[in-house]
Chain A
Amino acid sequence: MEHQISSAFWVLSFVILTSAILLVSLKNVFHCALFMVLCLFSVAGIFILLDAEFLAAAQVLIYVGAVSILMIFAIMLTNNLTNRVIKQTNENGLVSLFVCLSFAVGAIMLISKTHSWNYRANELGHDNSLILGKYLMTEFMLPFEVISVLLLAAMIGAIALARKERS
């Protein structure tokens, strides 16, 4: 089981990194959006490996479902973007490579120096959607209903803005 999980992790990381690089380097914006979907979906796979069930569902529903739809809509609604070849890079390639590399090296050094990891990630989250559901319905009942009001405000705001633009 442990072996399968780690090999799944490597496959998922490979897919995430490849699609992320394609996302920022492809010439057609629409293809970039499609690779963004693949990238976000594979991140949901990583969440499942960590037993973060609720996070994986949120990732698939919100990011793969909603955000990418919004992105693709925005691309299709913008006339001059859809099929045009756009240069995605500028002249600062070397500088950005240096910044990214130094950040990566710093992060890896910091992580490997830290020895006091108290929990393994997949020890924490068993049945987390069940626990979350229970707490939302009992202890955090009021915040839960306030979320609904917040969403209502967001929806009314979106409609008001969209209507104002039209007239």
Chain B
Amino acid sequence: MPGPMGGPHGRSIAKPKNVGKTFSRLLGYLKDYKWQLVFVAFGLVVSAGAGVAGTYLLKPIINHISELLKSGSTDMSAFIGYLVVLAAVYGVGALMNYIVNRMIVNISTATLESVRVDMFTKLEKLPLKYFDSQTHGEIMSRFSNDTDALRDMLRQGLPMLITSGITVVGVLVMMLVLSPLLTLLVLVVFALMLLIVKALGGKSAFYFTKRQKSLATVNGYIEEMIEGQREVKVFCREDSVSETFEQKNEELRQASTSAMTYAMVLMPIMGNLSYALYAAAAAAGAALAIIGRADIGTLAAFLQYTRSFSQPLTQLSQLFNGFISALAGAERIFELIDASPETDEGDVTLVNVEKGDAGNLTEVPCCTNHWAWKRPVGGGYEYIELRGDVRFHDVSFSYDGEVDVLKDVNLFAKPGQKIAFVGSTGAGKTTVTNLINRFYDVQRGSITYDGIDVKQIKKDDLRRSLAMVLQDTHLFTGTVRDNIRYGRLDATDAEVEQAAKLANAHSFIRHLPQGYDTVLTADGANLSQGQRQLLAIARAAVANPPVLILDEATSSIDTRTEALIERGMDRLMKGRTVFVIAHRLSTVRNSNAILVLENGQVIERGDHDGLIEQKGKYYQLYMGMFELS
């Protein structure tokens, strides 16, 4: 079921459950950069401090000029001295700023890379149950929205926190140093500013949630109606659909306008409040100057300070929301990284062997067509030949732990045999195939492979001995050749072509614009359904496995391509143990054994003729002219 991506729906503003824990986890990722981060913090303090200090220097500079004016001297040497100091302070500030920002870019990009790689590698190890329990959209959102929020926090949020914080504190301190009296005035206005920030911030957050909801609704409607436009046209619903859209559109406009107004209005208010403060300070300061309690230099510096803290204050207030959502996102990211991987306590592996004349097996590093299971026994190993003898012993299984999908299933396949599963939808056919390769593990009973319990075999090795051709083909972005080679990464070009020929795919591939090097997009969207199926068969063919799991469902494919697919599948099945979810008459007729599943149980078994004679469920399905889905 395709779910909408997190992207167009905007960031989710869920609150993090445990800020402290998430934050320290995050710090863990930054551990390697510990000393660099200390330097960065130091640098940010220096750079912010330089700005504050530079403004302070206005006082002695302006005062010096006034003195020179009064005394009539023209000795500029001290003045030049002050300017040099000022230049030095500014220079240090700017340089630090540059260095520190370069470092922040490096650290943040490297951290993000680690986080992303950790997420992805964990993703590949997770059990299928995890993927069943979430929509793709939700998982993707962690890779996109959540990492974006984290990036913003690392790259801008945290540095700004330090810089703005130091600036505000520094400015207030210096103002106090310059003139405690005037600072009182400042504090009053400052308190007023804080109140305004809080009030507007609260309103803004409220409307933003409304806006997010409305945006999700509108975007969801757009998706649904555009995906379903055939229906809209066929049923002439264009007008009514547009009307409904108008309503949702208008709701969005209102919510968004309210939300953004409260957010946008903050800057001009704060900025101009600081001008009002500037004005009041100018008047008060001048009055003080007249009575000799302040000098012009102090006034100059002080006034400059009043202009420099409204911006950092506004920035600080806007940072808060960003942090909350970034931490919430980080929490989701860590949830993914911490999720339990597929359990794999097996110790039996699959190795290449050569068979000696006496029938003994010796392990070789590669490339024979003989395989064996290598089981640690006592102090050494024993080798058991891979033949494809798969058995189910009283297997019961449930996906959710409550409803049994398979009940006490027994089956056996001797090597080279073809076992067909038939039954109505939901009878348990796909589940059986999911269990053979341990996509899920059984709750009761056991499955043995060449006599070894599959739970003892390492999952990767088990899966390497099987190949699957499923109902959903799933191809990857890449060339046709790469996609076929997915079955066996070290296959040569000749082997790839051979596999394609076996699958009856070779001729259509040759007719593609770049043949085998044609690039497939998005799950093979530039191919037809039938062609994708043929590629999937080729992919399995090149893997050349001893055991094959095949799901024959091929709906909505034309008869000619279907015939090609059938012949390809037949060739693929030769000489292997095959478990096939059968949909074709010819398949079941050629099977060694047919298992009829119903409600998770094997109700009939036998070969085709035998089952027809029984006139049971199989006979019924068969008489429906073999529609088994």
Q: Do A and B come from one complex?
A: no
| Interface of A toward B, CB cutoff 8 Å | none
B residues adjacent to A (C-beta < 8 A): none
